[in-house]
Structure 1
Amino acid sequence: MAQPNRLAFLDALRGLAAVYVVLFHVMAMPAPALATGPVMGAVLAMGGTGVALFFVISAFSLAYTMPRHARTPRPLLSFYLHRVFRIAPLFFVLLAFSIWRDGRGSHAGHSLPEILANVSFTFNLFPGWEAGIVWASWAIGVEMLFYAVFPLLFRVIDRPLRAWWVAVAGTLASLLAGAGVFGAGGLAAVGDYGLLRHLPVFLYGILAYHLFAALPTLQAGTARRCCAAALFGGALLLVALTVGSARAWVVPGLGWILFGAGYAALLVGMSHFPLKWVVNRVTAYLGQVSYSLYLAHPIVVALLIPVFRRIQAQVPHADLAYLACAVLTLAVAIPLAHLGYRLIEVPGIRAGHRLLAAINGRRTAAGAERAR
């Protein structure tokens, strides 16, 4: 369901982020992991940072669309209804499937409190449940916490300079918590699924939005030079982090934050330099179905692992064997993602629009009645 104010480079980066996560899980989910050569292995090992790119894009998108919500009769209701109806329908379908899957055979299944925590999107707040029942849904748990505080953040971060300072403050808070300055609670907050670990990445997305919004105030040549520098600097940082991580030179917590910064710079640069091999109809389409692709692909990978082993046995070259497994996974997962988008996501989005229109319509009618 295309919207007239969609940004093509944003959709493209979202699609590439989803594919990067898929490629990572094709390698990492089997036990033992699929063998690859050193160069491909180093690149694939960073595929989990595709989620950091998701977070940057999410924060940017929320800031970009927030003025539209502000023009409605009930801005906060508009914001939260759009978020819930964008995320919940597909998540609930996969949650039902996951509860059924995990309740079979020798698996103990899930308790009612855990199920309710997932239904209410609060599972990130409960130790031991942060990963979520739906595979890979830990990111949804983190996102929902960010959604809860975003309207306040957007109100506070209202200009580029303030966005810089808040991003710096969030980064320092995350690093200090990781160093143990804030005690056990701080360390828990920067765990794998802790919001404070990911907050700087979200803040870089908000900063990227403010820099993007400020570009029209610059002279055309200056704006292009700034975006070129952001694109080159972001790409260089990402390459350096990938090499440094492969050689264990990068501290994991700091590396995640720096990857977020690199992706944010890449996003700003791509707004003026949408390279055709990055921003095109294929990647824009992948961006549209990226949510379904992200949530459904672990199931596809798990089912295909026996096939992966047969491919490995038949193809002696590790990189070629991996590529065959990756192509097979995408060939199955993308059509399924298309169905999830068309049959679940789009109807859910439309249902949210209808509900909001009905609420606003009743409010308008009641106001007109009182005015008589």
Structure 2
Amino acid sequence: MARAYRRPHGAAPAEAAVCGERGAQRKGRTISVNSSHPVSSSLDLAAPMGQEAKASGTQDRRQLVGLDGLRGLAALYVVLFHCWLYTFPGFPDSSAPPWLEGLMFGRLAVVFFLVLSGFSLAVSPARHGWRSGGVGRFLRRRAWRILPPYWAALAMSLIISWFIVPASHSGPPTGTSILVYGLVAQDMVTAPTPNGAFWSIGVEAELYLLFPLLLFVRRRVGAAVLVACVTVPVILRGLAAANASPVEGDNWLAPHLAPVFVAGLVGAAVVTASDRVRRLPWGWFAVLAALPVLALGVTQGSVWTVKHYFWIDIAIAPAMSMLLAAVATGRPAILVRLLTARPIRSLGSFSYSLYLIHLPIVMTVVRRVAPRFFSPGLPVFWFTLSVALPVSVLGAWLFSKIFEMPFKRNRSWRSLIEALSRGA
């Protein structure tokens, strides 16, 4: 992660942006709503029976779309972050005007996406005794949902990186890059990157493999033990580093980020909690938990903040989990209404595609197009914002129609081929 800040043109933070998958399957009077994150799992929300079932099903779906809205806004922030990052050199001591410093926290978007991923994956297991429904089935569904658009974006990124603008200071991708990134092994093996945002996909892939084990621990010994098992070793590692400030390399980031993923997982318990727990002011809890962390970052400045992201990640994750709990319980209502507004909901529906393809577009505009017409600094930034942002959003929408949505709507090759045949 720190690599993304020490060498911004190598791999910049992003979330493994995310995308919601919504559908309803009715059998008798039982309603199930499915949702998936680009790097998360489907949510199977079973509503009660009768009239309460209908009301609860509608409410669950609305809250689920609220989570999709959060994904969309977070993905949009990542695009803004990269427009800012590649326009102004010197990160973290950026040459950007101070009033643009609010765009510098792309790393926190990664943390949020990981918390959201853990939360989304765990909702269905939380409703079914913390059971995954089968390790093989879970991994197959994740691969089906994540890999096709990822591989399509990888091909696009390779072409742009080879022929238009390299994605890394280490030069264009190599044959090793194709193998490593094709196998989603970038968090374990170093290779020139074709797309600086892909590092988080590798992290999430490793966390997927751990997810059934995390559920097992949650089911057998409880949330507190799970959090301790994952978080204490990370804290001890941090304290053992020089000046208690670990320096991250290019790989093996999953062990450090596992606690934030688990923060989302344990937060998903709110969906089966008692009414008294669900009515708690989770939104305010989130604000109170985040304020000390944010205040520390503001007072210490950007350079200190970036150098201490190891600790900030862990400190901010509980606040993010409580924010998700708030939205999942329908509070605050004004935020849920915003997140379920049609434009935000639509953005969330293809946010995974937006995450996958936006960075090569931003870099092309910043490094190949803008310098031809504008002087460095704010002129390039405004041009990049006005061109790369809409092109990324519209391009992601089209990309999702071709490479993402068919795999969200169909769960097998047979179903996909039949759907394509009917379309033809």
TM-score range, shorter chain: 0.7 to 0.9
Counterpart Cα distance in 2 of 1:233 and 1:14: 22
Q: Which aligned pairs between 1:218-297 and structure 2 lie closer than 5 A?
A: 218-219=275-276, 223-237=278-292, 239-244=294-299, 246=301, 250=305, 251-271=308-328, 272-274=331-333, 275=335, 276-297=337-358
Cα separation, 2, equivalents of 1:261 and 1:73: 23
What's the counterpart of residue 266 of structure 2?
207
Report the AA paired with residue 279 of structure 2.
R
- CA contact 1:178–1:190 (8 Å) conserved in 2: no
* 2:172–2:194 Cα contact (<8 Å) kept: no
Q: TM-score, normalised by structure 2?
A: 0.69
AA partner of residue 65 (structure 2)? A
Residue 3 (structure 1) aligned to one of 14, 18, 23: 23
Would you say the 8 A contact 1:205–1:264 is kept in 2?
A: yes
Instruction: Give secondary structure in 1 for the equivalent of 2:122.
Output: helix
Q: Do structure 1's residue 147 and structure 2's residue 208 form an aligned pair?
A: yes
Summarize the Cα distance change of 1:139–1:356 in structure 2 as closer, same or farther, 3 Å threshold: farther
> Which structure is higher in helix share?
1
The answer to whether the aligner puts 1:21 opposite 2:82 as a matched pair is no
Conserved? CA contact 1:191–1:197, under 8 Å: no
- 1:38 is the counterpart of 2:98: yes
* Structure 2 CA distance for partners of 1:19 and 1:95, relative to 1, 3 Å: same
Contact 2:119 2:321 in 1 (8 A): no
Secondary structure of the equivalent of 2:219?
coil
Q: 1:331 aligns with which of 378, 390, 397?
A: 390
Q: Report deviation, 1:52.
A: 0.9
Match of 1:118 among 181, 202, 206: 181
Change (3 A) 1:297 1:247: closer
Is the contact between residue 293 and residue 312 of structure 2 (CA under 8 Å) also seen in structure 1? no
The structural deviation recorded for 1:152 is 1.4
Deviation at 1:197, TM superposition (A): 1.4
Going from structure 1 to structure 2, the CA distance change for 1:231 and 1:68 (only over 3 Å counts) comes to closer
How much identity, in percent, do the aligned residues show?
27
Instruction: Letter of the 1:11 partner, please give it.
Output: D
8 Å Cα contact 1:86-1:348 kept in structure 2 = yes
Query: How do residues 302-313 of structure 1 correspond to structure 2 at under 5 angstroms?
Result: 302-305=363-366, 308=370, 313=375
Task: Identify the structure with bigger relative contact order (alpha carbons < 8 Å, sequence gap 6+).
Answer: 1
Check the 8 A contact 2:130/2:216 in 1, yes or no: no
> In the aligned structure 1, how far is the partner of 2:271 from the partner of 2:22?
22
1:83-129: CA deviation from partner (whole Å, max 9, x where unpaired): 11111111111222333344459987544444222222223211x23
Q: Counterpart of 1:147 in structure 2: which amino acid? A: Y
Matched position secondary structure for 2:279: helix
Counterpart-to-counterpart distance in 2, 1:142 and 1:28: 22
Deviates more, 1:5-14 or 1:31-40: 31-40
1:118-158 residue CA offsets vs partner (Å, 9 max, x unmatched): 222223211x23x7433310000000000111111112213
Q: What is the RMSD of the two structures over their aligned residues, measured on CA atoms? A: 3.7
Q: Is the 8 A contact 2:162 2:173 kept in 1?
A: yes
What is the deviation of 1:173?
1.4
Instruction: Give aligned pairs, total.
Output: 343
- Matching residue's letter, 1:334: V
Question: 1:293 deviation in Å?
Answer: 0.6
Q: Is the 1:14–1:287 contact (alpha carbons within 8 Å) kept by the matching residues of 2?
A: yes
Kept in 2: contact 1:122–1:141 (CA 8 A): yes
Structure 2 unmatched runs, 5+: 1-20, 25-32, 36-63, 418-424
Q: Distance in 2 between matches of 1:312 and 1:163?
A: 54
In the superposition, the TM-score normalised over structure 1's length comes to 0.78
Aligned residue in 2 for 1:164: 224
Q: Which amino acid aligns with 1:172?
A: V
Whether contact under 8 Å (1:58, 1:205) holds in the other structure is yes
Contact 2:161–2:173 (CA under 8 A) maintained in structure 1: yes
